[in-house]
Amino acid sequence: MAPLLPTAGGTGSAASQSNRGEAMAWGLVAGAAAGLVVYFLAAASGAQTSLYSTVRPVTAMTTTTVPMMGRSLRVSASEGSSAGIAAQTQLAAHQVLPDWDSLPVSQGFGWSPMLLILLATAAAAVATFVWSVVKHNNHQEYIALAPHSSESLERRRKLLEKEAEYRRSMGHPGPDQVSAPTSAIPGLRKPVVGGNWKCNPESMADLDGLIANINACDTSKCDLYVCPSPLHVAYCCDKIRNGALITPQNCNFKGCGAFTGEMAVEQMKAMGITQVLIGHSERRGEFGIFPMDNNDTLAIKLKYILDAGMKCVFCIGESKEIRERGLDAVLHEMDVQLRQIYHLLDPAKVVIAYEPVWAIGTGLTATPEDAQATHAGIRQLIAKRASPRVAQAMRIQYGGSANAQNAHALSVMPDIDGFLVGGASLKPEFADIVSAISAAK
């Protein structure tokens, strides 16, 4: 199987040089600004000391009277009788932008104003450069911790490489050396089977027959759940007796309110329901529903469900076109669909249901070996993106036209932990599927 992450490229050096150049530019700007601030502070200090000492106080001057439009104007006699000269003298006393040579030397140290300005400029430039570099590194790590960001894939890859190198230097295996956990450990993951009735059955008599099939299943070695249509949820809650969990086929992500056609988990909890299914391919748009569920809304739904204290069956799967491109393309699509929920995966609260869309309702099914390879790849993704511990305990169901004929061959595969059954859950053979996975594990 090809690597799940891109191979190392040569873009790191160029990106690093670009970041250093940006930091230097910010440093120069900050240095120039600091220099101007010091310059004006020094200018203000000079205007209040040496500059004002060159101007005689107006009150100390001898004055004379100059006639102006019938009134007398008192001006300095020492400057002659010209009013213009007196005005220029008073303007000079308020001059605040001195020449460089007129700035006072700092007392006690002998530092010139120019030296102070240069030191302040250099200090500001260095501080800004260091801050820009540190900020970039922190930002890089922040993006790498956001698995839903496609733009950060290259950065995440580099961080993983650095982590792997460090772990190897310490004598520990890196992330790429973590093998995909399997169910070879006895009792590691209890099998789980779900029956998705979709928009079936048509009559209440048929519904009673389906409920009888569920009640006939042996749940001593296998967890069981059933997904009735919304109209039948309450009825099934009263009639199913063998511990199978009633699991609605969808929910909203806003709670109760003006949401026509939706169900809220608060309503489910009030009925004693503890689990809900989301992300089925038919809710993602396979039968033309619009607006459809997408990866963004499903991530919001999963958080909403878990925050409410409920459990969830989360469906993922690929189209026929993606399957035809090979296993690497399939696993890339699985990574895309899981990217925003890796941090929410709790094996005690979430079950992953892998359902190849091309096999749902078509009678087609993946070979046991192909299904195992896909499940192992999904588990490896979870090990890398979440943790090996989560991956080892996470139950992954197969949902591609499982039936009584292929259930045993699929059940013996180490990474297949159960089934999400569609059409066959409407038939008595559903109990045989439960028995097959129970015996194999």
Residue 381: exposure state from Cβ atoms within 10 A (0-12, 13-18, ≥19)? buried
| pLDDT at residue number 304 | 98
Average predicted confidence (pLDDT) for the chain: 77
Query: What's the whole-number mean pLDDT along residues 14-18?
Result: 48
Q: How confident is the model at residue 407 (pLDDT cuts 50, 70, 90)?
A: very high
Query: What's the whole-number mean pLDDT along residues 171-188?
Result: 47
Q: Where does CATH 3.20.20.70 sit in the chain?
A: 192-440
| pLDDT at residue number 141 | 40
Q: How confident is the model at residue 164 (pLDDT cuts 50, 70, 90)?
A: low
Cβ neighbours of residue 373 closer than 8 Å, sequence gap 6 or more: 1, 327
Q: How confident is the model at residue 391 (pLDDT cuts 50, 70, 90)?
A: very high
Across 117-131, 138-152, 242-256, 313-327, least confident range: 138-152
| pLDDT at residue number 43 | 60
Residue 386: exposure state from Cβ atoms within 10 A (0-12, 13-18, ≥19)? buried
Residues annotated as catalytic (active site), given as ranges: 280, 355
What CATH code would you report for 192-440? Answer: 3.20.20.70
Q: Please name which of 132, 56, 58, 55 lies closest in space to residue 95, comparing C-alpha atoms.
A: 55
| pLDDT at residue number 122 | 76
| pLDDT at residue number 289 | 65
Tokens of 66: 């100059």
Q: Please name which of 213, 229, 226, 278 lies closest in space to residue 252, comparing C-alpha atoms.
A: 278
CA 239 to chain centre: 42
- How far is residue 119's CA from residue 113's CA, in Å, rounded to a whole number? 10
Orientation of helix 11-48 relative to helix 113-144, angle to 10°:
150
DSSP string, 266-326: HHHHHTT--EEEE--TIIIIIT--SSPP-HHHHHHHHHHHHHTT-EEEEEE---HHHHHT-
**In the 8-state DSSP scheme, what is residue 244?**
P
Query: What's the whole-number mean pLDDT along residues 248-252?
Result: 97
**In the 8-state DSSP scheme, what is residue 181?**
P
Q: Which helix (H) or strand (E) holds 240?
A: none
| pLDDT at residue number 285 | 84
Give the amino acid at 66: V
Query: What's the whole-number mean pLDDT along residues 369-375?
Result: 96
| pLDDT at residue number 366 | 87
- The long-range contacts involving 39-46, CB below 8 angstroms and separated by at least 24 positions, are 39/113, 39/117, 42/103, 42/104, 42/113, 42/116, 42/117, 43/96, 43/97, 43/98, 43/103, 44/96, 45/103, 45/104, 46/98, 46/102, 46/103, 46/104
Contact 317, 396 (CB under 8 A): no
Q: Please name which of 10, 35, 429, 397 lies closest in space to residue 194, comparing C-alpha atoms.
A: 397
